[in-house]
Amino acid sequence: MNDHANTTDSAIAPASTRRPSRKGLGWIALAIAPIVLSGCQIPGFGINEGVTESSHKVYKLWQGFMVTGLIVGGFTFLLIVYAAIRYRRRNNEIPRQTQYNTLVEVLYTVIPTIIVAGLFYFTIVVENPEVAVIKNPPAKVKVVAFQWGWRFSYPENPKVNIVGQTTENPELIMPVGETIQVDLSSLDVVHGFYIKEFSFSQYAQPGVVNKFDFKVDKVGEFQTQCTQMCGLYHSLMYFKVKTIPASDYHQCLTSSNSGDEFVACANKTTPALYHRNTATQGATVHHG
């Protein structure tokens, strides 16, 4: 078909065909290291820094991975397209039947190994503190998921229980500036506890209690919902996270006689620092 007349000399000469790939691979290795190390001045690639201590690190990790992915993917993409276009059929000659090139083969084994070693290293650096839990957290909340709603209870004050089903959109109140430990479980099937602005999710499972810590650093309101398929009303299993200053949090928590009172108190103490949408539209956080 596409018999484009092309200068066959340059097309098949081995010297010109091998050099670009070697050079390109070298460039990649050079380019990646510093970019992964410094996550600043790089776009967010679809996410933002988040509002917890861990989510800031996750944000950097995401940037590093995206940049690496774009370089590696872009390089491979261009190489595929280049090879397909550059070596399109020109005539009926049989090209040189090269099958092996030890150097190239070693390079495309070793370089990916180095890259993923780097990715794994940074993964561990971010992951370890993210999943670590402290011994005596200053705040605690027990989250129980059920078909199709949530119960938030606070061991600090057993009278405070916040329960809501489907679009009742129960509020999970958390302190800012202080570590809160979440005890997550489920009464029936597997549910997904996900907070986008925390860049975090975890399964709520029957028979398993998962513990994790958040240290929130922004006041705000974050609309979210169950993410793991849990039956008929999965797409309507909402909840909302509200973060308020730690002093207000403890003051409200100890002075309330019910979940409703706690929520009312938390809503009163929170200054209108943030832009608030209607409950069903989600909330937007302003980053300083």
Partner 1 sequence: MVDTLQPTTEHAHGDDHGHDEHHGASGLLNWLTTTDHKIIGMNYTVTSVVMMLLGGAMAMLIRAQLTVPDGGLVSLAKYNELFTMHGSIMIYLFAGPFAFGGLANYMVPIQIGAPDMAFPRLNALSYWLYLTGSVTMLLGFFTSGGAANFGWVGYAPLSNAVNAPGAGADLWIGALILTGFSAIFTGVNLVATIFYLRAPGMTMFRMPIFTWNMLVTGILILLAFPVLTAGLVMLYCDRHFGTHIYDANGGGSPVLWQHIFWFWGHPEVYILALPFFGMVTEIIPVFSKKPLFGYKGMVFATITIAALSTGVWAHHMFTTGVVLLPFFSFMTYLISIPTGMKFFNWIGSMWGGQVQYTSAMLFAIGFLLTFLIGGITGILLASPPLDFFTHDTYFVVAHFHSVVIALVIGAMAGIFYWYPKMTGRFLNERLGKLQFWLLTLGGLLFVMPGYLVGLRGMPRRMAVYIIDPTWQNLNIWSSIGGFLMGISMLVFAANALKTLKAPKTAGPNPWDGHTLEWFTTSPPPHHNFYSLPNIKSERPTWDYFHPDAPALTHDDHDPSHVPGAVKADAQ
Interaction between residue 19 and partner 1 (CB under 8 A): no
Interaction between residue 132 and partner 1 (CB under 8 A): no
Q: Which one of Cu ion, partner 1, none interacts with residue 155, CB within 5 to 8 A by kind?
A: none
DSSP 3-state of 171: strand
Smaller CB separation from partner 1, 215 or 234 = 234
Of 19, 134, 231, 264, the one binding partner 1 by CB under 8 A: 231
Interaction between residue 130 and partner 1 (CB under 8 A): yes
Helix (H) or strand (E) holding 205: none
Smaller CB separation from partner 1, 55 or 256 = 55
Of 38, 155, 159, 206, the one binding partner 1 by CB under 8 A: 206
Q: Which one of Cu ion, partner 1, none interacts with residue 278, CB within 5 to 8 A by kind?
A: none
φ, ψ of residue 224 to 5 degrees: the values are -155, -170
Interaction between residue 189 and partner 1 (CB under 8 A): yes
Residues found near Cu ion in the complex (CB under 5 A)? 191, 226, 230, 234, 237
In degrees to the nearest 10, what's the CA dihedral of 7, 13, 19, 25?
80
Minimal distance in Å, beta carbon 168 to Cu ion? 14
Interaction between residue 146 and partner 1 (CB under 8 A): no
The answer to whether 43 touches 125, Cβ cutoff 8 Å, is no
Interaction between residue 202 and partner 1 (CB under 8 A): yes
Q: Which one of partner 1, Cu ion, none interacts with residue 15, CB within 5 to 8 A by kind?
A: partner 1
**Strand bridging mode 161-165 / 149-153:** antiparallel
Give the residue among 279, 196, 188 at the shortest CA–CA distance from 234: 188
Window contacting partner 1 (CB under 8 A); options: 33-41, 112-120, 136-144, 247-255 = 112-120
Interaction between residue 35 and partner 1 (CB under 8 A): no
Q: Which one of Cu ion, partner 1, none interacts with residue 191, CB within 5 to 8 A by kind?
A: Cu ion
- Token digits of residue 278: 């209607």
Q: Which one of partner 1, Cu ion, none interacts with residue 242, CB within 5 to 8 A by kind?
A: none
Give the residue among 220, 174, 211, 200 at the shortest CA–CA distance from 58: 200
In degrees to the nearest 10, what's the CA dihedral of 122, 215, 240, 58?
-10
Interaction between residue 94 and partner 1 (CB under 8 A): yes
φ, ψ of residue 137 to 5 degrees: the values are -70, 140
CB contact set of 68 (below 8 Å; sequence gap of 6+)? 32, 35, 36, 115, 118, 119
Residues in contact with partner 1, counted by CB under 8 A, come to a total of: 100
Smaller CB separation from partner 1, 30 or 94 = 94
CB count in 10 Å sphere of residue 72: 16
Q: What residues does 214 pair with on adjacent strands?
A: 180
Alpha-carbon span 23 to 101, nearest angstrom: 15
Residue with token string 């970019």: 35
Smaller CB separation from partner 1, 39 or 245 = 39
Q: Which one of partner 1, Cu ion, none interacts with residue 105, CB within 5 to 8 A by kind?
A: partner 1
Interaction between residue 236 and partner 1 (CB under 8 A): yes
